[in-house]
Chain A
């Protein structure tokens, strides 16, 4: 069989023009599919950045919350109630909100402010400069050094900033696993300072972060929180909720789906058509092979091999091109959201397999239908 496959390979790649056209079609389709889905994956991940960075197992929130950045304040008794629930090891409040910082040159910059529980500082970021206890110092803020750091004019320890007419002092510089989606810098401070500095509605607790005694306690915690009229979600459920919001309620999912389908159709039509032409051009020769004594299954094997080889080569090139461009973009724009995931790779592979299957199906049909007698008749 190896010789027959080598024969199929040579017939394919030696037809440089068609092979190139098919590769370009599949590469382009895979590139587009990967790019769109990677961008969307990146957006979803960055949209859940606070959930990832804080790292709490269970988040208690108002049922109306769709994404972590759009919190709905909860009254203080929720925290007390959660702390008294069965299965809860400990529970702390978290503040998450937005504010305006007045910079030294008089301009304003939006920031995300995360207020950590004053007692435990649960969810604190990893510091790369400064000491965490300095967060308790007067007007202390920790700034995250991410792609948006420069928007605060590259602050350093001791830098002062004006936040809603309050003086703030940078006491530490931190790093976090994932930067935010909206392209604005992040400041960490204590919960009490956050609600003191930032004008708030009546209820100030954005989330209650819960550590269950064990994973098996989570369902009963969820039930008890639901009985209060609130919602407890695990970290994964909250990230999924955020993803669902972006996919189903913002139009982003539909756009991604349309783009992916367009890429698929472009790839299918370009490669499928070229592969079909390739088969048509060689139809008489396939008929001659049949006359000489090639079995139908060998001919099918040859065509499937040609389609698979083209599809997988195009897939590899498409992935490579996408990875290269994402890498290039991230060098220029550190906050560039695109992220290649195994799911993206699997989706693109699935679509490429469909392209290969459809292309080879039409080719196989034509080759199986040709009668060697037609070769004699000319």
Chain B
């Protein structure tokens, strides 16, 4: 085998590996990206019905309920403009509290009045003052929306 043959073979092997890696990454991205939505966006129907997403906002005061053996949890995530009921089964993180920021990952289930966000995961926070950036953004968006609504008289 001549030197340039061998080098060509090496380059071809490296390129095909690179191509394989790119294909892997792209398909993994397509299947596994999780988008974030605020309660207002969910109310406006922007959130996907079929795939999972992240929902962020505040846990509404007085909305936490436990059912059954205490593992079934229901609460409401709000951005002060809209509210989304959430159902979850399992242990809540240490810093989950009413009136505090929260991010839940899951999907929408049910229709009409039964429609709720079934969370597979309620994300833990690490610090008592820490507000998940997603939750903070949802609140800012809702606030900006409310101001614009008041000023422009939008419905």
A and B associate in one complex: no
